[in-house]
Chain A
């Protein structure tokens, strides 16, 4: 999973120890500084630093075997984003716009009209549909990258994790139900 040749310059431990350590440290320190109305919990900066430092040291040995999960996810993210960009470019070239329905309120905040039609971008016209689509894509990428094994959730029948036809089938069922129910 480590890029060939790269480890000669940076060393394999750069990917398996240094980066996970840095990531854990940054996330823990970032979150502890963010909560508590921006003041951070605990308020003492050195205490937050030490907590982040200690947690990073504790977590790193456990993350190291699963670095490949992050790499696969980042790779998938690049591919998905490239695909989305192609879709957006084509939609813009062809001038495809979505017709979304919004609720309209007056200046006092009282609902005046429900389902007012406006022309907007495809993503804003169908936010729920796209959100569901992205959640499904995210879940599939997560599972494909081995996220479930890393979390220790695949102790039960492991074959199902990669049973893509079944997953695709479940998604098609869900879409069919959605389509049927949304039909007026």
Chain B
């Protein structure tokens, strides 16, 4: 495994992470997106645009990599947390049932909806909030020049109060629908 350590050292010493990788990333994104929408039609023009824009990232690559790395790491950990919950949902087979009655009056279960599908708005909002928090935690705001003293919040407490509010809202909504 010493080979791996050497590889990491060599790549970081040669500014592999600071210059080459951001250049490659921007080039791939710009070239891929332009190719996706076929704008402009000329492939050579698209290549040159992507190449030039990729070079533009180089002077500011250091701070961009720092934010991107933190953001990616945050997203990865958040993804692992969400996956944990999804696995629990799936392993227990939690489903919201819906019945259908036929002409003879016999009731049968016709639809089994996933919790994330039934409450997609709540889950969407929750995930959006979490992603914004990860972005702020990764220094995304600071990168854009916004020093925000208001983000020094007791996040664990806010997190759990949020969960409690969600539970109460959910249960009140369920109560209304009965």
Residues in chain A within 8 A of chain B (CB atoms) = 7, 10-14, 17-18, 20, 23-24, 27, 41-44, 47-48, 50-51, 53-55, 57-59, 61-63, 66, 69-70, 73, 76-77, 80-81, 84, 88, 100-107, 112-116, 118, 120-121, 123-124, 127-128, 130-132, 134-139, 141-143, 147-148, 150-157, 160-161, 167, 170, 173-174, 177-178, 181-182
B contacts with A: majority SS: helix
Q: Assess whether B155 is in contact with A138, with CB atoms less than 8 Å apart.
A: no
Q: Which of B4, B88, B102 contacts A18 (CB 8 A)?
A: B4
| Interfacial residues, chain B to chain A (CB-CB below 8 A) | 1, 4-5, 8, 12, 16-17, 21-22, 24-25, 27-29, 31-33, 35-36, 65, 68-70, 72-74, 76-82, 84-85, 87-89, 91-103, 107, 109-110, 112, 115, 133-134, 137-138, 152-157, 159-161, 163-164, 167-168, 170-172, 174-175, 178
**Contacts A27-B76, A57-B17 given; does A151 touch B36 at CB 8 Å:** no
B1 close to A123 (CB less than 8 A): no
- Quick one: given A61-B69, A104-B107, A181-B175, are A130 and B94 in contact (CB under 8 Å)? yes
A58-B17, A134-B88 given; 20 more Cβ-contact pairs under 8 Å: A23-B76, A47-B31, A55-B68, A55-B72, A59-B73, A62-B72, A81-B88, A112-B101, A116-B99, A120-B109, A124-B95, A127-B95, A128-B174, A134-B85, A138-B81, A143-B156, A153-B133, A160-B157, A177-B168, A181-B175
